[in-house]
Amino acid sequence: MKQIVTADIGGTHARFALAWIEDRQVARLEPPVTLATSEHASFQLAWQEFRGRIDGDVPTDLAIAFAGPIGGEALKLTNNPWVIRPALLGGELGVERVTIVNDFGAIAHAVATLDPAAYRYQCGPDVQLPKDGVITIVGPGTGLGVAALLRRADGSYDVIETEGGHIDFAPLDPLEDRMLSYLRKRFRRVSVERLVSGLGLMNIYAALSAVDNRSESIHDDKELWREALEGTDGLATAALDRLCLVLGAVAGDLALAQGAAGVVIAGGLGLRLADHLPRSGFRDRFIAKGRFERHLDAMPVKLLTHSQPGLIGAAAAFARDHR
């Protein structure tokens, strides 16, 4: 059994953990060290803090799930100023072998390897995810992550990393037409990530306030999420309902575009929405695809409940790269 370090580097948090690899599988994941990216000037400084919290020697093999495009000499987080230069990691961190995958590529690796107990039913038929075909993975968090997993009947698979969270937002009713008009004044371009993400709830709340000609009474993001989930503020609750509608529409569009046979909702906000999604308009928007409504309604949609899929997925990608 081999020990490695696995890291999940996002816009808000950087998570590090020790993982054990056996027979090309992740056999065990130690409890993670979670650091706020805003409290560390660079990845290297966060790594030093992680090392200081580990007893004994740190393994020289490293797997990273990175929240941004991974091509090129310098990798920049989409929602954070950190920059990672893969060619320099050996000298800077003292590591020998490194695997870097997009954060939602890592989620796809996790989906490929986790057992059915890691999922919660959302809509569609209550069956296991298909073992053969494409699974669309959509995850609202700091941003909106999107990936595709192509599984084959022989147990092999391929992960397609994408930046699908940056496709254009398409309004589907008169209210969303007005929301889009408002958001266009605030942003150069309105992608789906502007609405379906942690900050997306505030954007929707502001847009609904403007449409309703009301002043915004909540200005703190955490307070807005609390009020919305608890149902103690009517406009905040309406914003959350609208976020679920848009998430359903986007997930359905991506499933059609990718030729999916199943869908997984992941991401930090996916877990927060676990109880709200089934009673929202998510399913109605997910299947509202005209001639393809029956096709979408026959597709299993699951919520990924594993607490650290990025860490598991990055380690699984490492095991696959270094067989």
pLDDT reported for residue 56:
83
- Phi and psi of 145, rounded to 5°? -95, 145
- Please tell me the predicted confidence (pLDDT) of residue 196: 97
Using the predicted structure, report yes or no on whether residue 108 has a pLDDT greater than 80: yes
- Calculate mean pLDDT across residues 251-269: 96
| Digit-coded pLDDT (tens) for 208-254 | 999 999 988 899 999 999 999 999 999 999 999 999 999 999 999 99
Percent residues over pLDDT 70 in the chain: 99
**What is the model's pLDDT at position 1?**
86
d(CA 239, CA 204): 6
| Position 316, amino acid | A
Give the dihedral sign, CA 314/118/263/201.
negative
Give the residue-averaged pLDDT of 145-156. 94
Mean pLDDT of 142-153: 93
DSSP three-state, residue 200: helix
Check pLDDT > 90 for residue 67: no
pLDDT in the model for residue 77: 82
Confidence of residue 143 (pLDDT cuts 50, 70, 90): confident
pLDDT given at position 142: 82
| pLDDT reported for residue 321 | 86
Strand, helix or coil at 187? coil
Across residues 315-323, what is the average pLDDT? 90
* Residue 268 pLDDT level (bands cut at 50, 70, 90): confident
- pLDDT at position 216 is 87
Residue 78 confidence (pLDDT) above 80: no
* Average pLDDT of the chain, as a whole number: 94
Sorted by where each starts, the structural domains of the chain and their CATH numbers stand as 2-114+306-321 (3.30.420.40), 164-304 (3.40.367.20)
Q: What is the pLDDT of residue 176?
A: 98
* DSSP labels, 79-148: TS--EE-GGGHHHHH--SEEEEEEHHHHHHHHHHHS-GGGEEEEES-SSPPPSSEEEEEEEESSSEEEEE
Secondary structure letter of residue 224 according to DSSP? H
pLDDT value at residue 161: 87
- The answer for residues whose C-beta is within 8 angstroms of residue 317's C-beta and 6 or more apart is 63, 99, 101, 105, 106, 109, 159
- Quick one: pLDDT at residue 71? 83
